[in-house]
């Protein structure tokens, strides 16, 4: 073997390359060193040896070999590109820029070289040079006109036309990494994160040093709660751009979403060490500190963010969303001033929406309910214009669930599924007390309070996602056999495991899971379900006043809200009919008035021995991510019971839509117009 290596450099290179591609970097190094005894100046062997050393973090040695390559073949662009990457990994940014400039001069059509060079120039504040590099890149891209057209469609909100244009580019050149990444961004914008992930993966496969695509990939993985893989992608981005403030902030956000709050704070502090006024890191730091209960520190971070970027409405909404926070007069005046600016002088719809909701909360705290509703309504109207929601499709979805999940369906599958009793699902509408119920349960020594997990409905929808005959969920459930149902239950438990410790039970409080109770019982028949209920008008008003970070598209219009509520009641009544006793209904107002008896009902339904700690829920130390995070850290909170009465005149439209539900309530709980 040694003789073959020494006499045939091509075979030596191919053998070492196979080792390199399999991850055996030290083996590739040994193989290459043997070959270089005879072929000391072979540039391919030297370059691969440098790459193998870089993979082992031996950058100084790798640098020597890359320099040797560039001296042997001065016009060889990949050698200069490798040298630039090696300099960058050692923090030698200026040297990296010079090496990449030489590489770009010898290969001006290379997207990977020009992209990296432009990003580095931008990083060190040489924006004019960076823009010039990117312009040259686009001029050298034969698909430039089509890409510009696609980007223009995307900017104008015509996503379908943008996608057609990106796909046209990719048909002409399937390896156009810019088109792959931009199409991925479009997919992520429309919450098609699985498709976005595939596109970003292909982009970084073709251009391993494409920093932006690695960050995009990390974000898409984070959105799918694939936190470990997201961290790997973001750390790769950090290798490409050491100390990059945006990558550090994304790593902090990923850890926060994964519940690793201390790690999150550490990453965010590193980001702020690079740029103390980086407002996304300050905002995320506020979120992380709020989640772990450090309210004053969270407020300080939010206020620093507001100073850094005064027109950033989201930070003011984040303060309002603490619920227990109160704006001062100066802050209210500043919000009005900024709202006028972002609306008239420099239209910014997202900030206009956030400022509107925050000002609404400020007036509500002052008990000026008329003005509060005016601003809540303004924010909702703007948000609805930018939200896609079809109430008819929601109604059809409920019809399909009722048609499939019948009493006969469950009778035929009795005893099937995974028997694990550990999940406790808390469902309902947002702002109906689910966080309070979770906190009560998580105060029990045997219950792990996790988060709003997105696994159940995703797994359900995937049961028919790839069928060639077009049969989708829920109809696809009619053909799932015993082994498949058991496996689906196992899949849900495995997904949830990353949020658990060793406690025998855990909560999943995603409100929207109410549509998945039939699926849940099919795959985990011993799982428990609690339905968090609240007066319909308080429930809908609370949702209408809430600006959600994502999801809940039904919540920004009073008709949509009422229709959604009626469909929620309809499917819950169906579950009660076909699965009697499966769901425990807990009324928020009853918990407020008689915590002891309601907490005991909850414990009994979940098969838990009674523990007095459930009554001292506000003392439980745990991360709480939802809008009620500060309220559940106080003794029982009753300030929002019957809050709807302050807004009754403004809720006439909602009351009219909900009349069938409201008329079933006691006369004293109905609006005046329905009690006459």
The 8-class DSSP code of residue 631 comes to G
CA atoms within 13 Å, Cβ hemisphere of 130:
12
Q: Give the pLDDT of residue 638.
A: 63
Q: Give the pLDDT of residue 157.
A: 78
Q: Give the pLDDT of residue 507.
A: 97
Report the alpha-carbon distance of residue 87 to residue 73 in Å, rounded.
Answer: 19
Taking a C-beta distance cutoff of 8 angstroms, is the pair 444, 437 a contact? no
Q: Look up residue 566 and give its two tokens.
A: 């009626």
Q: Give the pLDDT of residue 610.
A: 96
Burial status of residue 421 (CB atoms within 10 A of its CB: 0-12, 13-18, 19 or more): middle
Helices (H), 93-126: 93-106, 111-123
Q: What are the mean pLDDT values of the chain's consecutive 10-residue runs (676 residues total)?
A: 54 87 88 88 90 90 92 89 88 87 82 74 66 60 70 81 90 89 91 93 90 94 91 93 91 92 94 91 94 91 94 94 91 95 74 96 96 97 91 96 98 97 96 92 94 91 82 94 96 92 95 97 98 96 93 94 96 98 96 95 97 87 46 56 93 94 90 78
Domains of the chain are: 2-140 (1.25.40.10), 403-640 (3.40.50.300)
pTM, whole model, 2 decimals?
0.74
Q: Give the pLDDT of residue 214.
A: 95
What is the end-to-end Cα distance of the chain in Å, rounded? 98
Question: DSSP string of 639-666?
Answer: TTTTGGGGGGGGGHHHHHHTHHHHTTS-
Q: Give the pLDDT of residue 346.
A: 55
Contacts of 385 (CB under 8 A, 6+ apart): none
Q: Quick one: which of 434, 576, 568, 454 has its CA closest to 514?
A: 568
Taking a C-beta distance cutoff of 8 angstroms, is the pair 224, 218 a contact? no
Taking a C-beta distance cutoff of 8 angstroms, is the pair 360, 332 a contact? no
Task: Please calculate the CA angle 558-549-264 and round it to the nearest 5 degrees.
Answer: 160
Q: Give the pLDDT of residue 627.
A: 43
């Amino acid at each position: 073997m040694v003789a073959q290596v020494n006499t045939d450099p091509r075979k030596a290179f191919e053998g070492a390359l196979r080792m390199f591609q399999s991850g055996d970097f030290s083996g590739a190094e040994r193989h290459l060193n043997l070959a270089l005894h005879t072929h000391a100046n072979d540039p391919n062997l030297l370059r691969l040896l440098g790459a193998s050393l870089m993979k082992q973090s031996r950058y100084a040695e790798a640098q020597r070999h890359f320099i040797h390559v560039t001296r042997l073949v001065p016009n060889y662009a990949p050698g200069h590109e490798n040298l630039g990457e090696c300099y960058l990994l050692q923090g030698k940014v200026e040297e990296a820029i010079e090496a990449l400039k030489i590489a770009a001069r010898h290969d001006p059509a290379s997207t990977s070289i020009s992209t990296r060079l432009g990003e580095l120039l931008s990083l060190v504040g040489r924006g004019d040079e960076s823009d010039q590099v990117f312009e040259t890149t686009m001029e050298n891209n034969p698909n430039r006109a089509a890409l510009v057209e696609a980007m223009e469609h995307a900017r104008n909100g015509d996503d379908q036309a943008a996608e057609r244009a990106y796909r046209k580019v990719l048909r002409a050149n399937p390896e156009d990494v810019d088109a792959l990444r931009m199409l991925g961004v479009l997919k992520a914008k429309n919450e098609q994160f699985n498709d976005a992930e595939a596109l970003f993966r292909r982009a970084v496969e073709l251009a391993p040093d494409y920093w932006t695509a690695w960050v995009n990939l990390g974000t898409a993985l984070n959105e799918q709660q694939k936190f470990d893989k997201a961290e790997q992608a973001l750390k790769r981005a950090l290798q490409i751009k050491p100390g990059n403030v945006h990558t550090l902030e994304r790593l902090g956000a990923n850890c926060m979403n994964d519940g690793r709050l201390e790690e999150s704070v550490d990453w965010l502090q590193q980001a702020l060490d690079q740029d103390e006024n980086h407002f996304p890191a300050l905002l995320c730091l506020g979120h992380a500190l709020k989640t772990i209960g450090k309210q004053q520190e969270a407020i300080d971070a939010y206020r620093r963010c507001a100073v850094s970027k005064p027109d950033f409405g989201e930070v003011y909404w984040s303060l309002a969303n603490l619920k227990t926070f109160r704006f001062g007069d100066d802050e209210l005046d500043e919000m009005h001033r900024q709202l006028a600016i972002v609306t008239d002088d420099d239209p910014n719809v997202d900030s206009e929406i956030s400022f509107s909701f925050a000002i609404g909360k400020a007036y509500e705290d002052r008990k000026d309910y008329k003005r509060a509703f005016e601003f809540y309504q303004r924010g909702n109207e703007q948000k609805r214009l930018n939200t896609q929601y079809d109430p008819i499709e929601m109604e059809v979805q409920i019809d399909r669930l009722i048609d499939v999940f019948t009493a006969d369906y469950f009778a035929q599958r009795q005893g099937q599924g995974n028997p694990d009793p550990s999940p406790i699902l808390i469902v309902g509408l947002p702002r109906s007390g689910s966080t309070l119920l979770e906190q009560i349960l998580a105060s029990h020594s045997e219950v792990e309070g996790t988060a709003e997990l997105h696994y159940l409905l995703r797994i359900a929808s995937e049961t028919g996602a790839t069928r060639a005959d077009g049969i989708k969920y829920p109809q696809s459930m009619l053909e799932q056999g015993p082994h498949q149902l058991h496996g689906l239950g196992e899949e849900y438990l495995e997904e949830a495991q990353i949020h658990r410790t060793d406690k025998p039970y855990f909560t999943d409080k995603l409100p929207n899971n109410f549509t998945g109770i039939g699926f849940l019982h099919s795959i985990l028949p011993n799982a428990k379900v609690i339905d968090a209920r609240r007066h319909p008008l308080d429930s809908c008003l609370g949702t209408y006043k809430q600006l959600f970070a994502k999801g809940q598209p039904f919540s920004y219009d009073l008709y949509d809200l009422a229709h959604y509520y009626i469909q929620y009641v309809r499917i819950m009544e169906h579950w009660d009919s076909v699965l009697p006793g499966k769901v425990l209904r807990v009324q928020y107002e009853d918990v407020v008035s008689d915590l002891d008896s309601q907490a005991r009902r909850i414990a009994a339904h979940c098969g838990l021995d009674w523990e007095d700690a459930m009554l001292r829920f506000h003392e439980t130390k745990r991360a709480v991510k939802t809008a009620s995070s500060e309220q559940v850290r106080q003794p029982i909170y009753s300030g929002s019971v019957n809050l709807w009465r302050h807004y009754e005149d403004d809720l006439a439209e909602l009351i009219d839509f909900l009349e069938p539900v409201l008329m079933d309530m006691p006369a004293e709980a109905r609006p005046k117009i329905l009690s006459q």
